[in-house]
Amino acid sequence: MFSEVTQPSLTIKQISEYLGAEYRGDGDAIITGVSEIETAGPGDLIFADSPKYISRIIDSKCGAALISKTIINDPPTGINLILVDDVRKSLLRLLELVEPPKVFEPGIHPTAYIAGSVQLGLNIHIGPNVRIGEDSVIEDGVALLSGVYIGDGCRVGASTLIHPNVTLVQKVSIGKRCIIHPGAVIGSDGFGYLMVAGLLRKIPHMGGVLIGDEVEIGANSCIDRAKMGFTSIGDNCKIDNLVHIGHNVSVGAGSILVGAVAIGGSTTIGSGVVLGGQVGVADHIHIGDGAKIAAQSGVISDIEAGEVVIGFPARSRTKRLREYAAITALPEALRKIRKLEHRLAELEKKQGGQDN
């Protein structure tokens, strides 16, 4: 449903005017929520950007449908429609209108611990049981929700939101307007050991983590600090839940890392790269700008800029799909080969009889 802190309902005409769209049907009909097609009720707006959904829209109990002008030549009748050029962009604008980011009141909860050397900006919200270590800097407009732990020597950039139970271990710098979701751990030691006299000795990690501006980090993701220098995440990167980024990794601006991605230490990822869910990347790998790695792929060698790869080991999508097609055809090919072998054996047997 629409947020109670904003306008609780909008007419179809109001929505259309806001989106710069045209509508068909009852412009005074009230919309009170956005819903999936299957669960929509009379006050709900649904959306569709593919012709395959048209029949389901007609059968829906929704109050109105947001659809693309380009996907149908003859819009369905008997249902309120809002016709737009781009459904997803229009839906984004609408959701931003009715569900803006929550604003946290400035103030420091009495259970919070703040070291004496911490520098605090203006209009900061610090929730219950937050802990901020020595020599850290919290800039203007930051919101630290309950249970956030910030170690020594950290910086949190202006207007950043850190959700409950996030841990910044030490030497972590977070940029401006970032969002870090619950349970994320940033700045823990990387995974590094050396075998000495038959025993594994821990390699000290003395570096830090640099996070750019407008980065979003999903719940329970982990970003390790560097051995020396910094693990770095570029501006506008979007990191899903349960992602692991090893020590000294560099991720370029605008990259997307989907859930359960794991990146080995000292790997370099360019700008605008997309790693699908459960992609694994070995250490010391270079992935070029704009590359796309399909879900569950395993990257064990460098990927050129702009490449689209799939599978394990990750290879060109085009070549890999040809291989998959060939594998699918193998049973029939083997059947034909056996049949030919049988015929050849019969011919050889006949030939042998004639020679005698």
Which tokens hold the place of 317?
Answer: 């999508």
- State the Cα–Cα distance between residues 320 and 157, nearest whole angstrom: 43
Signed CA dihedral, 163, 164, 165, 169: sign only:
positive
Q: Are residues 76 and 200 in the same domain?
A: no
Look at residue 175 and tell me if it is in a domain: yes
311: left (phi over 0), alpha (psi -120 to 50) or beta: left
Q: Are residues 186 and 286 in the same domain?
A: yes
The whole-number pLDDT of residue 200 equals 96
Q: Are residues 83 and 182 in the same domain?
A: no
0.75 surpassed by pTM: yes
What 3-state class would DSSP assign to 201?
Answer: strand
Q: Which residues are catalytic?
A: 247
Q: Are residues 186 and 85 in the same domain?
A: no
Strand order in the sheet with 33-34: 22-24, 81-84, 64-68, 44-48, 33-34
Identity of residue 158? A
Q: What is the DSSP letter of 99?
A: S
Look at residue 325 and tell me if it is in a domain: no
Q: What is the DSSP letter of 208?
A: E
Q: Are residues 174 and 308 in the same domain?
A: yes
Which residues span the domain enclosing 92? 10-98
The whole-number pLDDT of residue 4 equals 36
Q: Are residues 62 and 175 in the same domain?
A: no
The whole-number pLDDT of residue 356 equals 57
Nearest Cα neighbor of 219 from 165, 138, 140, 147 is 165
Q: Are residues 15 and 93 in the same domain?
A: yes
Q: Which residues of the chain have pLDDT under 50?
A: 1-7
Look at residue 351 and tell me if it is in a domain: no
Residue 129: CB atoms within 10 A of its CB come to 16
Determine if the peptide bond prior to 313 is cis (ω within 30°).
Answer: yes
What 3-state class would DSSP assign to 147?
Answer: coil
The whole-number pLDDT of residue 323 equals 76
Look at residue 129 and tell me if it is in a domain: no
The whole-number pLDDT of residue 353 equals 64
Q: What is the DSSP letter of 303?
A: B
Look at residue 147 and tell me if it is in a domain: no
Cβ distance 193 to 202 under 8 Å?
A: yes
Look at residue 322 and tell me if it is in a domain: no
Which tokens hold the place of 125?
Answer: 């919200």
What is the tally of helices (H) and strands (E) in the chain? 4, 40
CATH value at residue 57: 3.40.1390.10
CATH value at residue 249: 2.160.10.10
Number of domains in the chain: 2
Look at residue 57 and tell me if it is in a domain: yes
The tokens 């997307």 sit on which residue?
256
The whole-number pLDDT of residue 137 equals 98
Q: Are residues 44 and 174 in the same domain?
A: no
Look at residue 332 and tell me if it is in a domain: no
The whole-number pLDDT of residue 343 equals 85
